[in-house]
Amino acid sequence: MHTLKLSLIVILILLVVVLVLTAVASGLMSRQADREAQEILATASDKDKEIIQPADLEGLPGCVQKWLQRSQVVGQEKTYTVRLKQEGRMRTEEGKPWMPFTAVQYINIEQPGFVWMAKVKAASMISLIGKDRYYQGQGGMQIKLLGLFSLGEAKPGFEMNQGTMHRFLAEMVWYPSAALNDYIQWKELDATSARATMTWQGVSADMVFYFNAEGDMVKNVASRYREAEGKYVLNDWGGEAREYREFHGIRILNKSDIIWRYKTGDFNWLQLEVTDIDFNKPELYSK
């Protein structure tokens, strides 16, 4: 009986230690992400915000003009920074269980960059902390178990830099006026699709956007690098629209599926919802 009691006490102490270490590690990772976000947001312009005029859309493919009009950006301030909150679920492989997550993201549109910080519930009392970063043309990614143990890390390099640029392009559906920036060039493919090519810090990436008759973006696809067995390989990747919602007068895609398109079939690995978004408010969310 004494041995059993002692064992329970030891287990309880170990559990408390793990919980404390997890909280400390998660806090450190969160503070680092906050510092990076502040650095990224600080480079955005603080000048008087430009109001988007109908003439600003001239020269763009017709379907892109229709999308921007549908998004209600004309007459609004051009977006320079974004902060947003997400929730949803993700999985690592087809057939594996879905894991719920919440995330916060800060984005600079003028000087392209973002920090995305997510907390994923992998199991009861087991969480993963993930961070994606794109700044000054360089991308990076970290995943840690309980905020303590590294499960994966990708450092800047051509494939990672271009991959995070693809993400920035795909997420333009949350900040449509980014389509007007000089670092993005558009080419019409047909009446309902156009290719966007982004060039920044010596790297280029392109993505095809598909629209419906009403002007909503319904799908985007790019050939993006992913890591498989220690090597980078190219696969089609992109998002599919599920629902739109208006925030602060701007209509954005707020629910979507993110899909890798393999030769063996499509893998829907992420389903997300934007639950809150602010434009041109370059401040961190209060804790």
User: What is the predicted pLDDT for the residue at 148?
Assistant: 45
Q: Mean pLDDT of successive 10-residue segments in the chain (287 residues)? A: 60 49 56 90 81 97 98 96 97 93 97 95 82 94 63 81 97 97 98 98 97 97 90 95 98 98 94 98 91
In this prediction, what percent of the chain has a pLDDT beyond 90? Answer: 72
Instruction: Classify each residue of 125-139 as buried b or exposed e, where b means 16 or more C-beta atoms within 10 Å of its C-beta.
Output: eebbbbbbbbbebbb
Express each pLDDT in 224-279 by its tens digit.
999 888 889 999 999 999 999 999 999 999 999 999 999 899 999 999 999 999 99
Domains parsed from the chain with CATH numbers: 2-43+62-279 (2.50.20)
Give the pLDDT of residue 29: 65
Dump pLDDT digits (tens) for 102-130.
999 999 999 999 999 999 998 776 788 89
Give the pTM.
0.89
**Structural tokens at position 44:** 């955005």
Residue 266's beta-bridge partner residues? 261
SS3 category, 126: strand
Run of H or E residues at 168: helix 158-170
Residue found by looking up tokens 């993110």 in the block = 258
- Give the integer Cα–Cα distance in Å for 38 and 69: 31
pLDDT given for residue 117 in this prediction: 95
Supply the pLDDT for residue 161.
96
Altogether, the residues listed in the chain come to a count of 287
